[in-house]
Amino acid sequence: MGKPTGFMEYQRTEDTTVPVEERIKNYDEFHEQLDEEERKRQGARCMNCGVPLCQSALKLKGMVTGCPLHNLIPEWNDEIYHGHVQHALSRLLKTSNFPEFTGRVCPALCEKACICGMNDEPVTIHNNELYLIETAFEKGYMQPRIPAVRSGKKVAVIGAGPSGLAVADQLNHRGHQVTVFEREDRVGGLLMYGIPNMKLDKSVIERRRKLMEAEGVVFKTGQNIGENVQAADILKKFDAVALCCGAKKPRALAVKDADKVKEIHYAVDFLTSATKSLLDTNLREGTYISAKGKNVVIVGGGDTGNDCVGTCIRQGCKSVTQLEMMPEPPAERAASNPWPEWPKVLKTDYGQQEAIALFGHDPRIYETTVKELVLKAGKLSAIRTVKVKFENRQMVEIPGTEQTLKCDLLLIAAGFIGCQDYTAQAFGVKLSQRNTVLTEEEKYKTSTDKVFTAGDMHRGQSLVVWAITEGRHCAKEIDEYLMGYTGMED
């Protein structure tokens, strides 16, 4: 423990952000790092608890609090306080493959379980993690680690999202030859096209790809297994296969004619078109789905819905509204939701903050859903909404609560209902009732010989940190399958 009294002496100080009026002019990341001395003070706030719940991944009332990767948080916070960045980095990389991803997009399950947060503000674990990995890249500490010995075994990873990248990284460092097949034109999965650039700059993914290639991983993009590449060929050429294709089947809008109106798009399609255009032509080609000058309604109040809000604002929307079926959460923990449970409290994220600053009000409307589409000359011009409540876990409309909202663009960010079937079918694996690839509980081997699975394709829609965790577990199981034993950490 670096400074026993640190948690009493120093207050939580987060990374600063670029003012709203400036950051909405571009798609750049907008968080700015603290200086080195302030970062040391933030590391000093870590109490090095006897039982560090921050790294526990403790399941309480069906929700996890604490890091699924079991990051050695007190250890590297202590090293940060002492200014030992390389020592801190070695502890971080022992359990975490991609801190540059989780340090940007993870909702920080670790901080929700921080004991400092019981009576005060939690340690800035999330920011400290990002500081470590970015400092490591800046100072040249992140050099290729090429395996000294190769096993002679070949592994195909289908999907270059966070779980697939984790499988590839782990197995490559173990000495297996890994080839990653990705159907898109760039690696990253939802990291690349499902998360906007201002939240995760795509150069960060490219930087990691180059490092993994230098270490021996082979990436093949534009490879859509089950479409332009045959699963049988993959099974013939490789000793093991990991299916890591995500849970990309979107939840449809249950409204008449919703599938026939061209002004309605799924959120991921909208975000993908914006990011592809930004990367390919800096938005000059103008063929992306645009919110410019439009009244936008987003169905879904989660992270993806918020990302749509931020993107629409940068595109110059006329207005933006988010519809959320659930009630508005409380501002503070309820008595029935004590620490260290996951806090079921109101979160106002960057997109909503920008909408409040720009339009003067929170874009979210709670306990509301779309009841009907209003078309004018065949085009969407408005939607009719209705208030809802839940009775016996069933959503019920409240009569007499209908309202009309102007709407030129309707984005569906209502979550996903499992993996897209065709790749799973190509490999002949069994699917669960949730449309995820079926395995034994807490196992990763599928019903097809030498085929494994990990990430959202296996567990359903979840967090990046869980995808990486699953990738590590899956890699260990594949290694044992290939070698008959394993010494890999997971």
Asked whether the predicted pLDDT for residue 275 surpasses 90, the reply is yes
d(CA 470, CA 468): 5
Average pLDDT over residues 247-253: 91
Per-residue pLDDT, 4: 87
Q: Which of 378, 352, 376 is nearest to 366 (CA)?
A: 352
Degrees to nearest 5, angle at CA 210 with 206 and 212: 115
Confidence check: pLDDT of 157 > 90: yes
List pLDDT tens digits, range 344-396: 999 999 999 999 999 999 999 999 999 999 999 999 999 999 999 999 888 99
What is the C-alpha to C-alpha distance for residues 60 and 342, in angstroms, rounded to an integer? Answer: 8
CA distance 94 to 88: 10
SS3 state at 105: helix
Overall pTM > 0.85: yes
At 490 the pLDDT is 76
Average pLDDT over residues 119-131: 96
| 129-131-133-135 Cα dihedral, nearest 10 degrees | -160
pLDDT at site 1: 63
* pLDDT one-digit tens code per residue, 53-68: 999 999 999 899 999 9
Instruction: Tell me what the mean pLDDT of segment 441-467 comes to.
Output: 96
Burial 102-130 (b: 16+ CB within 10 A, else e): bbbbbbbbbbbbbbbbeeeebbbbbbbbb
Mean of per-residue pLDDT scores for the chain: 95
Mean pLDDT of 434-463: 96
Per CATH, 6-138 and 154-248+417-483 having the same topology is answered no
What dotted CATH number matches 258-412? 3.50.50.60
Tell the residue number behind the tokens 């960057």, with chain if given.
Answer: 350
Contact criterion met (CB below 8 Å) for 286 and 327: no
Report the distance separating Cα 240 and Cα 232, nearest Å. Answer: 12
Residue whose pair of structure tokens reads 């039982």 in the numeric block: 51
Helix axes 303-315, 350-359, angle to 10 degrees: 40
Q: Domain coordinates of the chain in residue numbers?
A: 6-138, 154-248+417-483, 258-412
Give the pLDDT band (50/70/90) at residue 150: very high
d(CA 132, CA 238): 36
pLDDT in tens, 301-346: 899 999 999 999 999 999 999 999 999 999 999 999 999 999 999 9
What kind of fold does domain 154-248+417-483 have according to CATH? FAD/NAD(P)-binding domain (3.50.50)
Whether 486 has a pLDDT exceeding 90, the answer reads yes
For residue 212, the model assigns a pLDDT of 98
Say if residues 171 and 178 touch (Cβ distance below 8 Å).
yes
Q: Let me know: does 305 contact 417? Beta carbons within 8 Å.
A: no
Given the candidates 3.40.50.11060, 1.20.150.20, 1.20.58.1030, 1.10.1060.10, the CATH classification of the domain at 6-138 is 1.10.1060.10
pLDDT given for residue 329 in this prediction: 96
The whole-number pLDDT of residue 284 equals 87
What percent of the chain is helix, strand and coil (3-state, nearest 5)?
Answer: 35, 20, 45
What DSSP element (H or E) covers 451?
Answer: strand 451-453
What secondary structure does DSSP assign to 120-181, as a single string? SPPP-HHHHHHHHHHHHHHTT-------SS--S-EEEEE--SHHHHHHHHHHHHHT-EEEEE
Q: What mean pLDDT comes out for the span 248-262? A: 91
Does the pLDDT value for residue 460 go beyond 70?
yes
3-state secondary structure (DSSP) of residue 468: helix
Q: What is the pLDDT of residue 287?
A: 84
Residue 322: predicted pLDDT:
98
**196, 307 contact by CB (below 8 A):** yes
